[in-house]
Amino acid sequence: MPPHDSPRPPQQDGKPPRPRRMPLEAALQNATVRDRARALTNLAAIAGRVTSSVMATLPSLLSESPDPDTALNGFERFTASATPQTLRILDRHNRLIHYVLVVCGYSPYLSDTLIQNPDLLQSFAKPRELEKSYSAEDYRLAFAHFGKASPSGDLSGQMTRFRRRQYVRIMLRDVLGIATLADATAELSALADALIGEALQAARAELRSRYGGSDEDEVAVVSLGKLGGNELNYSSDIDLLFLYSGDPAARRGEVSVREYNIRLAQRTTELLGRLTPEGPVYRVDLRLRPRGAEGEPAVGLAHALRYYHDEAHDWELQAMIKARHTAGDTALTRRFLQQIEPIVYRATINFAAIETALIARRRISQRRAGGLWARSPNPGVDVKVGRGGIRDIEFLAQCLQRVYAGAEPWLRSRGTLFALQKLHDKGHLSGRDYHELSSGYAFLRTIEHRLQLRYGQQTHRIPAGAEDLFVLGRSIGGLIGQQPPERIAELVAQRMAAVSEIYARIIHEQEAREASAGPLPEFQLSPSSEMGAATSLQQVLRRLAVDSPETYALITARELSPYGRRNLFRFFAAAMTSGESYSVVLAHPAGVERAMSLFEISDFVTDELVRHPEEVGTLDHLESGNPGQLTLEAPVPGSRPMAQAAATSASVLAYVSESALNLEHRLSLLRSHYRRRVFSLAAHDLLQPRPVFVSLAAFSQVAADAVVAAFAATGGPPGLAIMALGRLGTLEFDYGSDADLIFVHDPALPLYTATAAATEVVHALAAYTSEGALFPVDTRLRPRGSEGELVVTPEQLSLYFAGEARPWEALSYTKLRPLAGDAELAQRALAAVRGRLPRFANQPEFSGELREMRSRLESLEAGEGEMNFKTSPGGTYDIDFIASELLVAHGAAGLRGNLQEVLFDLRARSLLEGDRCSLLVSGATLIRTLDHATRLVTGRARKWLPAAERPAAVVMRVAAAMLAMSAPDIPARLRSTMLEVRSIFNELIPAAPAQMIGR
């Protein structure tokens, strides 16, 4: 078993080990439970099914849950129905325990979905899986795969099950803070787009078989309302408009085009709205079509354009602000939107008329649900339609857009938050009003989401009961700061009052301005071109020419590929949504110039800059000798002295360790700082290439600093030490690596206390938040793997390696390195392991067992024609096995360093012949460099080089710069080097004896 990347042998099937008992009361010590007796009963049942390490995670996780009672109820049901394999997955990946409790604590109705679909946990176990944002195309591909894996004759039921499965993933990204509000609503909308497309496709296939006709008919589904604005809720209706082209009276097989498309709309709506055992896919509302409920379900393009030009009420035109393409013929939707835009945005529009129309529109909405409102048993405030609620903010944004966007097309935007930002940028909203409206909108929409997740219904009302209010307040804790959760109703009322005041004042100001200024000048709409990267980038450049001529000159002087131009647009589009980020970007033209080089080569760095445009300032500091040691320009939360002075990495880490602020704030700062340091190192390696082992040492130091800070921040007790194995142990940690850790405790420290502290550290390092996770943590290299105790003593290590440990574990532990906590204890653990390793050298089967394990690893990862940096013949595992086997066989386990340094030390001790050493060092350097370059370019750890031509070529260019060699020479060098490495491996580690094969 190679010590660097730490692969694990296959786990055997069977029941999870019998847990060691823990004090059940201790699990509830910081949790606010309502029914303690029920909670203890649940804990007792859970303890009988899971390991002690799983139980040890519960105290901290329950204390964070908005509703520990409901979370425990759900977790008990989950463990009761889980298979032994699922329980083992929970034990191997502690963050999955967190996910289950989050789902159960925030959404009882989605907890049923998770219990019925435990395979979801396996997908969440993949590194950085929850960091991905899915597009409609991603959901279409996922649904196709789901349909093959779970075939069904009931398409509606299949789509409903798929939607609920995806809701579990989206809600985890949402409530853990990985996704912003805009990200979550965009994903909910993208999921709806994909399923609407599936329903349309199925309906077309049915009607085509029934009525015949061509496959080339033009029909489009246009989304309106929240779906059109990419702002869908968890329980929103979807507002749709079905359009078709051509002569309605023409024949379409056996029926007219008009009748065919009406039936197509009806069948699509039926597939989406049919009630299944798990509810409908979506509730479909077609009442925003021409003539509302009296109109036909599908409308011809010509008829729709005439209607909106001649007959539509003003509120119907207002609804068209959010119109966008969802499914069917894209060109048809584009023609519709281009021709309706001049009708919606007219230069002579009157604000008072719009306000009158909006009031009428609100009355229509109230009448649709009025009876329900009047009879509602819950008298709480409605955050959607109450005065100063979500609807008022949306209407106000739309009013201002219609008034000003006729003359200023840049203001046209479907999303509410984006529209508010643009209105502020153009001076139509003051800074104070913009902040109050945008923060109020995010606050109220988050409450709306939490209510709908909790109850599984389309509700917008604040609950009246004290317990429900407390849970709601806890569920949005980050948005109410240090305020007690029970004040949530008061805080909502304050927010809505502030919005209501702005709404009334702006309308009054607009009416007064129109009365004094007279009619607006005529406006001639410029021809509208198809939205795309080129047109959008031109809009960005026009704004930059005014705001920052220096930045504009730098950009226009640079020749970028289409790929680079697309990333440049993504970056500036993100920066321009925030005045603060945009000002930072404009203040760092040199950073923008460097970013342009990165836009051409790295998806990883580009995505970081799009998520955090202000990081362009970091690129100005890459000339320094150590790019991982950042100066922090942003203030450290809650600390005025720290906010007023630049903080080095050391001071930030000290602040995280020692500050009196609550743990979550400190860990958030740690994650932010870690992300910035990794970004800085990655940008440095791409812009100023250096030898790979120098780079990996820097990444390893950043990870080690994070472990030390997390240990201190979580209150790691005396008598506990953290030690590294794998790539972190050899200072070869890379972006996307797992951290292999073991925890050692002094016998004087109780096992339960040590286990709880270790679990806190693992959670702090691996939990996903709005800043992402620090890195995945793997503790399975501890004695007995996932079945052993999470924390061990030096004496237990000594006994284990004296008897039970296998040869591959001896190789892994040659890389054991103290990391954090009790230094003297760590040295005792190190001595205990090293004192037992010589026994393996005396075993006649030592080399044979290693060869057998290497063969098993190779066969496990082997695929037809697939290559692997680690497991392929001649890959890094071969080099690892050789180096580590020599260390153990010759009693040199005290040698430490990266793979290159260990090989050189072995040569210096005459344990490795010079030519072999040179070739193995060359192989390790080449493969590590290609692996590192692949991670920097693609943003993830991959088994092998990218298959696509463009990223593969970029990886070769980046690797060539690090290796100081020609890129075209690398493939041949790689092939020949791996062949030679395998040859040396065969010579130094002989094949297993025949009687051992298959043992």
pLDDT greater than 80 at residue 966: yes
pLDDT greater than 50 at residue 119: yes
Please tell me the predicted confidence (pLDDT) of residue 975. 94
pLDDT greater than 80 at residue 378: no
User: Distance (Å, rounded) from C-alpha 772 to C-alpha 765?
Assistant: 10
Specify which residues 219 forms β-bridges with. Answer: 244
Name which of 705, 726, 695 is nearest 932 in CA terms: 695
* pLDDT band (50, 70, 90) for residue 708: very high
964: CB partners within 8 A, 6+ apart: none
pLDDT tens digits, one per residue of 555-576: 999 889 989 988 998 898 888 8
* pLDDT band (50, 70, 90) for residue 866: confident
Please tell me the predicted confidence (pLDDT) of residue 374. 40
Please tell me the predicted confidence (pLDDT) of residue 11. 45
User: Distance (Å, rounded) from C-alpha 978 to C-alpha 980?
Assistant: 5
pLDDT greater than 50 at residue 676: yes
Please tell me the predicted confidence (pLDDT) of residue 63. 87
**Tokens 């943590």 label which residue?**
777
Please tell me the predicted confidence (pLDDT) of residue 178. 86
- Between 505-514, 523-532, 666-675, 892-901, the lowest mean confidence (pLDDT) is in 523-532
- Looking at residue 76, its amino acid is E
pLDDT tens digits, one per residue of 447-502: 999 999 998 888 888 888 888 888 998 888 766 655 677 788 888 999 999 999 99
Q: Is 296 left (phi over 0), alpha (psi -120 to 50) or beta?
A: beta
The top-scoring range by mean pLDDT among 88-92, 480-484, 823-827 is 823-827
Tokens describing residue 281: 């896919």
In 3-state terms the chain splits into helix, strand, coil percentages (rounded to 5) of 65, 5, 30
Please tell me the predicted confidence (pLDDT) of residue 354. 63
- Between 36-40, 51-55, 85-89, 455-459, the lowest mean confidence (pLDDT) is in 455-459
The top-scoring range by mean pLDDT among 313-317, 424-428, 704-708 is 704-708
Please tell me the predicted confidence (pLDDT) of residue 20. 47
Return residue ranges of the chain for CATH 3.30.460.10. Answer: 626-836
User: Distance (Å, rounded) from C-alpha 931 to C-alpha 819?
Assistant: 25
Rounded to an integer, the average pLDDT of 176-180 is 87
* pLDDT band (50, 70, 90) for residue 948: confident
DSSP 484-503: -GGGHHHHHHHHHHHHHHHH
Q: May I ask the CATH architecture of the domain 351-517?
A: Up-down Bundle (1.20)
pLDDT tens digits, one per residue of 251-279: 877 789 999 999 999 999 999 999 888 88
pLDDT greater than 80 at residue 368: no
User: Distance (Å, rounded) from C-alpha 468 to C-alpha 471?
Assistant: 5
H helical segments located in 692-806:
692-713, 726-729, 751-766, 794-803
Read off the DSSP letter of residue 344.
H
Rounded to an integer, the average pLDDT of 806-834 is 94
* pLDDT band (50, 70, 90) for residue 525: very low
Please tell me the predicted confidence (pLDDT) of residue 832. 95
* pLDDT band (50, 70, 90) for residue 535: very low
pLDDT greater than 80 at residue 520: no
Mean pLDDT of the chain: 84
Answer whether 627's CB lies under 8 Å from 588's CB. Answer: no
Please tell me the predicted confidence (pLDDT) of residue 826. 97
Please tell me the predicted confidence (pLDDT) of residue 357. 56
* 538-542 own/partner pairs: CB under 8 Å, 24+ apart: 539/410, 540/568, 540/569, 540/572, 540/573, 540/576
CATH number of 626-836: 3.30.460.10
Rounded to an integer, the average pLDDT of 121-139 is 87
Answer whether 801's CB lies under 8 Å from 833's CB. Answer: yes
Please tell me the predicted confidence (pLDDT) of residue 349. 66
Pairing between strand 284-285 and 238-244?
Answer: parallel
Please tell me the predicted confidence (pLDDT) of residue 862. 58
User: Distance (Å, rounded) from C-alpha 565 to C-alpha 546?
Assistant: 20
Rounded to an integer, the average pLDDT of 922-942 is 94
Q: In angstroms, how far is CA 985 from the centroid of its own chain?
A: 40
Please tell me the predicted confidence (pLDDT) of residue 366. 55
Name which of 899, 950, 903 is nearest 928 in CA terms: 899
- Looking at residue 899, its amino acid is L
Please tell me the predicted confidence (pLDDT) of residue 280. 92
Please tell me the predicted confidence (pLDDT) of residue 530. 31
Answer whether 382's CB lies under 8 Å from 389's CB. Answer: yes
* pLDDT band (50, 70, 90) for residue 180: confident
Percent of the chain with pLDDT over 90: 50
* pLDDT band (50, 70, 90) for residue 863: low
Please tell me the predicted confidence (pLDDT) of residue 403. 85
Please tell me the predicted confidence (pLDDT) of residue 802. 92
pLDDT greater than 90 at residue 664: no
Please tell me the predicted confidence (pLDDT) of residue 974. 94
The top-scoring range by mean pLDDT among 47-61, 376-390, 922-936 is 922-936
pLDDT tens digits, one per residue of 737-793: 999 999 999 999 999 899 989 989 998 898 766 566 788 899 999 999 888 899 999
Please tell me the predicted confidence (pLDDT) of residue 763. 87
Please tell me the predicted confidence (pLDDT) of residue 595. 95
Return residue ranges of the chain for CATH 1.20.120.330. Answer: 351-517, 841-996
Rounded to an integer, the average pLDDT of 407-430 is 88
pLDDT tens digits, one per residue of 422-462: 998 888 898 889 899 999 999 999 999 999 999 888 888 88
Please tell me the predicted confidence (pLDDT) of residue 302. 94
* pLDDT band (50, 70, 90) for residue 353: low
CATH number of 841-996: 1.20.120.330
0.75 surpassed by pTM: no
Please tell me the predicted confidence (pLDDT) of residue 338. 94
Please tell me the predicted confidence (pLDDT) of residue 730. 95
Read off the DSSP letter of residue 26.
G
User: Distance (Å, rounded) from C-alpha 588 to C-alpha 615?
Assistant: 10
What angle is formed at CA 826 by the lines to CA 821 and CA 829, rounded to 5 degrees? 145
